[in-house]
Every structure is written in C-alpha cells, then in structure tokens.
Amino acid sequence: ESLAETEESLSYSEDPRLKGNTGEQEEVTSGSTQKTQHRPRKLSPSTLKVMKQEIKEQQKKLLKSKYPIECDGEMFGQLPATFEILPRAIKFRVPRTET
C-alpha cells in the first residue's frame, strides 16, 4: 500500500484572526513530496504568527474506506491513506451513506 500524495491548502483571507494586508496571493500550498511552496507576496506580522501556529497544530490522520478519495478537486486514488492536515485547511467530501 502506498501513501497518497497530499496537498494542504490554506486560505488566509477566511481566517478571522488576520488583520491588515495578507498579500495579493491569498493561498499557501505545499506538496508533501515535491516540497514546493507558494506563499503570499506580502505578509503582515499577524499573518506570520497565524502561519506558525497553524503549522504547530497539524495532525496526522489515517482514513480507511472502500471509496476513492478526492481532495481539493484532485483524485488521489483508493484508501487507506495517511494525511497530515492543518485545522480548517482541507475540506473532505465523502459519499452519503444510507442508514
């Protein structure tokens, strides 16, 4: 079993803790295997503080299911897969189950 490549995407424009200029590019993206990062061009001190706090709060999650996984519009394949997720950074959609 191989781990799916994850991509965490943070939208700082939606974070109520941020004040002032958060930059022209309001999204931070980092790929787990490619180690690429796209950061806002201009960061206010409050933005830097939140970024450091969010990184410290990351958690590792193991997801198990028979369904394929889609994250941020990208198909990653089948589960199980382990993801490291920043709080409120990624929204997951799962199939509705009948009860």
pLDDT band at 6 (very low <50, low <70, confident <90, very high): very low
What CA–CA distances, in Å, run from 3 to 23, 76, 78, 81, 86?
33, 10, 10, 5, 18
Give the predicted TM-score (pTM) of the model: 0.22
Give the ranges where the chain is alpha helix by DSSP (H): 45-56
Give how many domains the chain has, as a whole number. 1
Per-residue tokens: 82: 């382990």
Q: Which class for 79: exposed (0-12), middle (13-18), buried (19 or more C-beta within 10 A)?
A: middle
Residue 1 lies in a domain: no
Q: Which residue has the higher pLDDT, 23 or 82?
A: 82
Residue 96 lies in a domain: no
The Cα 36–Cα 92 span in angstroms is: 22
- Residue found under tokens 């079993």: 1
Beta bridge partners of 41: none
Residue 93 lies in a domain: no
Residue 94 lies in a domain: no
Position 50 scores a pLDDT of 54
